[in-house]
Structure 1
Amino acid sequence: MVKNIARSVTITLTILALLYVSFRSNETIDLSKYSTEGLDLNYTVSLDETTVNDNPSALSDSDFEFSPYLGKSFVGFKEALAFKESGGDYNSVNTYGYLGKYQFGSETLKLIGIYNPASFLKNPRLQEKAFIANSARNKWILRRDIKNFVGKRINGIIITESGILAAAHLAGPGSVKNYLRSYGLDNFEDGYGTTVHYYMKRFSGYDTSFIKANREAKAI
């Protein structure tokens, strides 16, 4: 008997609570008492910033670019070099027939085991392997020059390993040897006017310790 009475009271109270909430939800809330007037607000966007909705044409293409900061890491090195070579485009073919993200010539590809340029152009993973293999091969060829010249100043720039490897990618290890051993007098220039000296300077100071010198390095 007592249990039945307690159960009835509980059910009655629950029904009354639900009715109260229902009536309260139908009331109109007076928002006029809630204001930010006089408060010092911290915005994450400048108040004078033009939004896309205000004026979409005010935004340039660069506003939509994703630019992670890679610093002087090895990834930063290869991506910076790729951007200079092709804008980072795996499908790029320049006017001299150089291919892919890193702009390889067909003869260089053969040295690292790639004999089908058309297939290479369609294979981003292989292009990344080719960059590693070619860098490893160049590092072996230039190992003595890296030892002898890194830290020295030539034509106003400090020679670094990353600068040497970048220049070798541009002009081949032989041209880099000539540049270093002539102390900058023999400065190879490619068909677009880019020099060994320019690559030495632009790609100076990156961490290329990831690349291990390997005479027989192959991408396949």
Structure 2
Amino acid sequence: MARCRPCPSTRPSCAPPAPGGWVFAPVPAEHAPEVAGPFGRVPVTATVDGRTWSTSAWRDRRDTPPPGRQTLDVSTEMTTSRSTTNGPGTRIEGETMSKPTTIDEYINTAPPAGRALLSELRTLSRDAVPDAVEQIKWGHPAYVHPDGVILFMFSGHKTHASLAFTPSTRAAFETELTGYRTGKGTIALPYDTTPPRPLLTKMIEFRVREHEQHGVNWM
């Protein structure tokens, strides 16, 4: 059975959702991703009842599911290895694609339309916090304070890049971000627009200060 939102019922088959829609399906433990957290999604190509679309899988931390009870999120893209059955008539499967282990690899495997912006975000980040360590955290580029605390991260998506700060950093620039789509601590930057470099630099500098002077750690 596949479970769809916003409909709470289950049904024996499910087509790919409309843009922004969701479909949830449990994945047995032997095929589940070995990751967790908000950036811990594993990209997959899902095939359900013969219909295929790009999505991602991750460990569900909203409750304490039984062993192997995982979710599929039909909102992201690309592929990794997963192959499992999910009840009569339903099959979820994918093909292998290695995860990036460096930021160079991450940018090179990002959507072509976004590589220039992601490279620019990397340059901006290096200029703003030259002492930060570049790492891949939960599959995405992160800038880590020398004491080991994550300062901020960025990620590439189908049509935009996302820069992730702490909620307190994002909130401090509320009025300056009115023209952008934002989340709890994130800012979406469309690939076809010029990023607000001075604003992003100020946000990075604020994030460093709030950590070093006020002890604000990562989420």
TM-score using structure 1 length: 0.26
Structure with the higher fraction of residues in helix conformation: 1
TM-score using structure 2 length: 0.26
Structure with the higher fraction of residues in strand conformation: 2
Larger radius of gyration: 1
